[in-house]
Amino acid sequence: MIYKKSPEEIAAMRRGGDILVQTFEKIEAALRPGATTGELDEIAETSIIAAGATPSFKGYRGFTGSICSSPNEVIVHGIPGPQVIEEGDIISIDVGVYFEGFHVDSAWTFPVGDVTAQAAELLKVTEASLDAAIAQCRPGARLGDVGHAVEETAEQAGFSIVREYVGHGVGRSLHEDPQIPNYGPPGRREVLAPGMTLAIEPMVNAGGAGTKTLGDGWTVVTADGSLSAHFEHTVAVTEDGHEVITKRGPR
Ligand code: MG
Ligand code: MG
């Protein structure tokens, strides 16, 4: 069942979104060759707790990080630790913040120094696919329109959509209904309505769509070792369109 949020509940999520965005600014400032993913995790955890919030991911089904850190061929759910970030890497950082009873969820893939032309194109296209999906969010649109916008954007560029992992509703629980696949025909599935809060999160591979999970039980990588990018925003459907709750930069 899809839980619609009241304007007061969306206001609480907006405050959580502000904490998440500030946390991303601190992570980005520390993201350089030689830093470890564990250091970024510590920065994120300190930032979230100092704001009076709780990291959504820490302890979630036993996950040990406050962020997921997913470099290069890692698609999602990389565990932060001693891994050193290198010049030329791309790295997805996924952050969840729980504040005033609500979760917000956002991910961004960053280039570290100079990256290959293919990596730069993958980042550009995956971000564009998220923007295209968000642009579909308004009352009366269908959930299928959202996934279709991602699929169309990524596949036109010759990249592949990950199918095993999907976006989701977000609110009092980190993962709520509906599931939001990044593919599928437009004009199908649930009708969007004001108060729905959706974590839309395209995961796009430079090579094939296949995935595998490493022995740690969490880290999901591309089956062919190709690069993967991941961008995510928490978006509220409003009376006349949408609001990006986790928008970075000036609101
Ligand atoms: Mg996320
Ligand atoms: Mg998510």
Predicted local distance difference test score (pLDDT) of residue 249:
77
Q: What is the mean pLDDT of each run of 10 residues along the chain (251 residues)?
A: 97 98 98 98 98 98 98 98 98 98 98 98 98 98 98 98 98 98 98 98 98 98 98 98 91 52
Strand partners, 95: 67, 106
Predicted local distance difference test score (pLDDT) of residue 243:
98
Q: How far is CA 97 from CA 5, 39, 51, 124, in A?
A: 17, 18, 10, 26
* CA proximity to 40, closest of 98, 119, 95: 95
The ligand placed nearest to the CA atom of residue 170 is: 2
Please tell me what DSSP assigns to residue 120. H
Helix boundaries (H) for the chain:
7-30, 37-50, 117-135, 143-156
Predicted local distance difference test score (pLDDT) of residue 250:
63
Tell me which CATH code domain 7-244 carries. Answer: 3.90.230.10
**Torsion (CA) 212, 214, 215, 219 in degrees, nearest 10:** -120
Predicted local distance difference test score (pLDDT) of residue 161:
98
Cα–ligand 2 centroid distance for 17 (angstroms): 14
Kindly give, in sequence order, each residue whose CB lies less than 8 Å from that of residue 103, ignoring residues fewer than 6 positions away.
16, 56, 96, 97, 170, 171, 172, 173, 174
Residues around ligand 1, an ion, CB closer than 5 A: 94, 105, 107, 232
**Torsion (CA) 46, 52, 55, 56 in degrees, nearest 10:** -170
The ligand placed nearest to the CA atom of residue 20 is: 1
Q: Is the pTM of this model over 0.85?
A: yes
